[in-house]
Chains A and B, each alone.
Chain A
């Protein structure tokens, strides 16, 4: 049974860089797209970005200028960095496994079937 374990700093000051890591246990790392999603307090889910085992990334256009997602296949881990954080970045951050089927070089996004437990990140001076 695949499990995602995530960790990272939970309290940041404005302008600092958020850094989170998600480790994949009990399953294959390749063949999937690995996403980061966040949820501000009392609000809905916002997709941040994703990476596959080859290191190919896609980002939410609204966050693209500040986001970097990387992968370490030797450890079955992927990481999120979000620079220049503000109070608006305060949220619970989740990692998740995405089922994506590539047909003729076009990715089709099916669903996210495994989620991490979430990491609460607070940005405050």
Chain B
């Protein structure tokens, strides 16, 4: 059960856009449109931001968007705000014998 690969850190200035990648394999990200993204502020529980690759739960800003190409999913945050500074985790379905697989997490710093 290998973790998905994310960059350790990304940064951007307020108002800019950033993209966080999540690389898996043809057995997980590449095979299913079941990628989700979670935001986690320090000391808080993860919060669902994107599900089924590109869908946003009610209440999540439309500045957050998701996409997928091949074995790599991406989370894009546009119009960066200070409150977006957090850790972000991707998660993918990887087949019935594997259940949930998370990425290693990416720390977003808003400069």
Contact = CB atoms under 8 A, between A and B. Distances in A.
Contact count band on A:
20 to 34
B36 A111 contact: yes
A108 B91 contact: no
Interface residues of B, number: 25
Interface stretch (B9-17, B19-27, B78-86, B96-104): B96-104
Given A44-B105, A94-B46, A109-B100, A61 B91 contact: no
Nearest to A45: B102
Nearest to A59: B99
B89 interface: yes
A113 B101 CA distance: 15
Contact of B93 (A60, A96, A109): A109
Interface of A: 35, 37, 44-47, 50, 58, 60-62, 94, 96, 98-99, 106-113, 115-118
Given A110-B51, A112-B36, A115-B47, A44 B91 contact: no
Contact of B91 (A50, A111, A115): A111
Given A50-B99, A107-B96, A117-B45, A45 B105 contact: yes
B21 to A, nearest CB: 15
Contacts of B93: 108-110
A22 to B, nearest CB: 12
Contact of B101 (A47, A110, A111): A47
Contacts of A96: 46
Nearest to A118: B45
13 contacts: A44-B3, A44-B103, A44-B105, A45-B89, A46-B102, A47-B99, A108-B32, A108-B34, A110-B36, A110-B52, A111-B51, A113-B57, A118-B45
A94 B44 CA distance: 10
